[in-house]
Structure formats: C-alpha cells, structure tokens
Amino acid sequence: MELTIIQIILIVIVAFLAGVEGILDEFHFHQPIIACTLIGLVTGELIPCLVLGGTLQLIALGWANIGAAVAPDAALASVASAIILVLGGQGEAGVSSAIAIAVPLAVAGLLLTIIVRTIATAFVHFMDAAAKEGNFTKVQMWHIIAIIMQGLRIAIPAALIVAIGAGPVRDLLESMPAWLTDGIAVGGGMVVAVGFAMVINMMATKEVWPFLAIGFVIATIPSLTLLGLGAIGVALALIYITLSKQGGSGNGGGGNTGDPLGDIIDNY
C-alpha cells in the first residue's frame, strides 16, 4: 500500500503521541489497542490494525515497570508493527507476521527507552540548577524537552519504516516460506497466552478464581458472542460489588469483611 503525504504526517503524529503517552500515561495513546487503531484509521486499514491491536493488547497486559526493571516498549511495538502491516498490504492475513515482528521491536524499544531516560537524567541536574536560580521558565523548558524526546523515540523509527516504503516490506513478507509464517502464527498465539497468564498471576486471589472458572465455562458456549460475554462479565462485577458492600451479617456472620465470597461461605 502506498501512503499519501497526509497519511505519513498523521502516522508520525500518532507515533509521537504514543511515545509521549508512554511517560504521561494520561490518554493511553501508547496502548496497542489505541495506537494500532489510530494507525488503521489514518491509513484506511482499520479492521486489520484493530485485530492486531487487540492481540498485542493481550500480550502487553503482562508488561509492567517493576522497580528498576523497565518493561518492553508497547508503544514502539504497536506503531511499528501496524505500519508494517499496512505497508505489507496483506490485510488480516498479515496480522500473525506483524505480531511476530512486534515482540522483537518491543525489546528494541526497551533499549531506546533506557537511552532516552539516561539522557533525561542530565536534564534533572539542569532543572535543579535553574530552580536554585529561581528560573521556573527554564525548569519547564527542560521538562518539555524531556517529554519531546520520548515522542521522538517512537516518531523517528516510525518515519524510517515509512521511508523504506511498501515495496521492500511487501517483498519481505511475501518471501517468508509457509513453514515460517505458520510457526509465527503458533508462536504469536503462545505469546498471547503467556501475557494473559502473567496478568492472571499478578491479579489472582481466592476471591476471583470462581469468576475466572465461570468465564472459561461460559466461553465454551458457541452461540455466545463477545458482546454477550462482556455483558455477563459486567453483571458478575456488579454482583461482586454489591456483595462486597453488604458482607455477611446473618446467621452469626461477622459483618462485612471485604471478602463477599468468604462471608457467604462462613454463613453456611
């Protein structure tokens, strides 16, 4: 797919916003489901990019900055893989290949993040010096420069990928043998499962395991759509919230303990 000048400019803007939001975390432009969808909107490939973003979002759910450990860069992975998917012109058939490309891109983005944050460390000293002088304008200036660096961290690689053009990207994807693309599809599915498992590992408590089991059982019903599953999930959440407010107070119950399922079991 050949991109117009307007589309290229919009892609770079989306990439810049994704990089900035990776630090500000206010509008979540760096989240795969949003970044890929925006790339799809500006390029006219909404459905393939939406599928890619949803799949990458499941992977990125398990990525988190813990202490000094920096998580893989979901922003670069999302933007770059969406651009490659669009340039490849394969539509939804190219999603598996784009996912496989996204994972190493996330690791590469981790290196870029470390470099940018290391450079930004020097800016802190500049801001300290400006604060001692009482020059708050200069403090604000260095703060803005540091944020712009985060945006350029994604915008520059995105522009480079666009500059390569659709031809080389399409030739690369089409030259991949069937055994490799099939393996990539299997590996991409495994990566999604691992990301989801990491989320479960972080969130799992004895109170929510029953809801997880119910969800898996209900998901096996073929006639249920994702919209129906979402409605059931919302209903279960509302039931849980209601029970957590009421607690167990009858039959010798000890009142609201914050564990509604435990209160019910104790009452029995």
Instruction: Name the token pair of 71.
Output: 């998580």
Query: Rounded to whole angstroms, how far apart are CA atoms 189 and 59?
Result: 10
Q: Which residues of 86-121 are buried (b: 16+ CB within 10 A; e: fewer)?
A: bbbbbeeebbbbbbbbbbebbebbbebbeebeeebe
Could you tell me if 53 and 153 lie in one domain? yes
Q: Tell me the per-residue pLDDT of 191-208, one tens digit each, with 9 for 90 and over.
A: 556 666 766 776 677 777
pLDDT at 192: 58
Could you tell me if 30 and 157 lie in one domain? yes
Q: Tell me the per-residue pLDDT of 47-88, one tens digit each, with 9 for 90 and over.
A: 999 999 988 888 777 666 654 456 678 888 899 889 988 988
Does the pLDDT at position 175 exceed 80?
A: no
Grade residue 212 by pLDDT with cuts at 50, 70 and 90.
confident
The residue out of 178, 203, 228 marking a domain boundary is: 203
pLDDT at 33: 92
Could you tell me if 158 and 216 lie in one domain? no
Could you tell me if 167 and 81 lie in one domain? yes
Grade residue 149 by pLDDT with cuts at 50, 70 and 90.
very high
**75 in Cβ contact with 110 (< 8 Å):** no
The residue out of 203, 218, 252 marking a domain boundary is: 203
The residue out of 203, 225, 247 marking a domain boundary is: 203
Could you tell me if 141 and 257 lie in one domain? no
Residue in the block written with tokens 């989801």: 196
Domains in the chain: how many in total? 2
Q: Please state, for a pLDDT cut of 70, what percent of the chain lies above it.
A: 76
Could you tell me if 27 and 142 lie in one domain? yes
Could you tell me if 172 and 249 lie in one domain? no
Does the pLDDT at position 4 exceed 80?
A: yes
Query: At 237, is the secondary structure helix, strand, or coil?
Result: helix
Could you tell me if 196 and 209 lie in one domain? no
Please report, for residues 7, 83, 88, 164, 248, the alpha-carbon distance to residue 2 in angstroms, rounded to integers and kept in the order given. 10, 11, 10, 11, 63
Could you tell me if 232 and 197 lie in one domain? no
DSSP 204: -
pLDDT at 222: 82
Closest CA to 85 of 184, 173, 181: 173
- Cα of 43 vs its chain's centroid, Å: 20
pLDDT at 193: 67
Mean pLDDT for 240-248 is 73
pLDDT at 141: 92
Instruction: Name the token pair of 60.
Output: 């990125």
Mean pLDDT for 164-188 is 66
Could you tell me if 61 and 192 lie in one domain? yes
Closest CA to 151 of 11, 32, 30, 19: 19
Does the pLDDT at position 41 exceed 60?
A: yes
Task: Give me the domain span that covers residue 95.
Answer: 5-203
